[in-house]
Amino acid sequence: MSTLASLPNGKSEFFGSDNLKNINFGSANESFNHYSSQVGQTQTCKPKNEEVLFSGGNLQVNRYYYTDSKGALCSWEGVEKLNDNSSTGPTDTTMCTIAVLKRQIRCDCLLLVRQYRAPHQRYTIEFPATVLNCRDTLNDQFIVEMANREIMDDTGYTSTTIKHVSPATAMDADITDGKVRLVSVSIDGDDPLQHASPANTFSFESGHGHIVQLLQLPLNGLLDRLTQFSEHDIIDSRVYAYAMGLQEGEKIAYSNMQTKEELNEM
């Protein structure tokens, strides 16, 4: 594992177990091109093959073989989540929808779901999510359609605007090869045709859990509210990271506003 650290002299360094490289950053494009070339030189581990250790109804445990920077053969165990149709192999991607309910009079709220997760033996608070099993149709348009459908099924809201669709991102990379597509959604909470009630009442034998409660948490003070919920529920790390980033953004915005006011008074 390598860590990219910023230095006071305007450089960044990769601190890894096998190497140490300096990267000078210029323009945005130059930075990315230089970064890509340097990363290509540091990626000395190479995958070899994999072995199935266990295959159940929902999960498959594999042993992955690879060579390290010195050419030595190494192995690591990991988990793959299987498709509903096991003949098609492991699934590719999970989609999480970050939905903000926007209203003119009342405060904006983040829509979350609370459901039981058997591995934790507790209820969790998460973003609305679904597993995407279609390997050949994971383009942005398909993701947008699935995001709208997921919000409608899980929350009952239909008047949505897609703000951003992420590329496939890692999920517990040391444990599983699972990937997540994050979709940012804005919901018109002033639409009179909206119905704020969970529509998904299905129960899954796989232990996925059915949605028992739809939460509308105000963005103002979101981190404190999640901390309170954590006393009895498990907070999904993506939800908590979102709240931490939101709080830091509010601090930066407030600091910038104070700076502008001080400059105007000079």
CA 102, 180, 5 angle in degrees (round to 5)? 95
Helices 237-265 and 222-229 meet at what angle, rounded to 10?
A: 150
For 53, 166, 208, the CA distances from 243, given in Å and listed in that order, are 38, 18, 24
Are the C-beta atoms of residues 232 and 124 closer than 8 Å to each other? no
Give the residue extent of every domain in the chain: 3-42, 46-81, 91-219
Q: Which of 234, 239, 213 is nearest to 123 (CA)?
A: 234
What is residue 151's predicted lDDT score, i.e. its pLDDT?
A: 79
Are the C-beta atoms of residues 77 and 63 closer than 8 Å to each other? yes
CB burial readout 32-58, b (16+ within 10 A) else e:
eeeeeebeeeeeeeeeeebeeeeeeee
Given a cut of 50, the residues of the chain with pLDDT beneath it are 1-26, 86-90, 136, 198-207
What's the token pair of residue 59?
A: 């999960």
Rg (CA), the chain: 22
What is residue 6's predicted lDDT score, i.e. its pLDDT?
A: 37
pLDDT tens for 216-259 read 999 999 999 999 999 999 999 999 999 999 999 988 887 877 77
What is residue 202's predicted lDDT score, i.e. its pLDDT?
A: 38
What is residue 35's predicted lDDT score, i.e. its pLDDT?
A: 59
DSSP-assigned letters across all residues of 183-230: EEEEEETT-TT---S-------TTTT--EEEEEEEESTTHHHHHHHHT
What is residue 107's predicted lDDT score, i.e. its pLDDT?
A: 87
For 157, 187, 216, 227, the CA distances from 201, given in Å and listed in that order, are 15, 22, 18, 27
What is residue 253's predicted lDDT score, i.e. its pLDDT?
A: 82
| Residue 51, C-beta contacts closer than 8 angstroms, at least 6 positions apart | 62, 63, 65
What is residue 21's predicted lDDT score, i.e. its pLDDT?
A: 42
| CATH number listed for the domain at residues 91-219 | 3.90.79.10
What is residue 137's predicted lDDT score, i.e. its pLDDT?
A: 58
What is residue 20's predicted lDDT score, i.e. its pLDDT?
A: 36
Q: Locate tokens 């190479």: which residue?
A: 46
Residue 96, Cβ density class (10 Å: 0-12 exposed, 13-18 middle, ≥19 buried): buried
Query: Residues 169, 138, 182, 164: is their CA dihedral positive or negative?
Result: positive
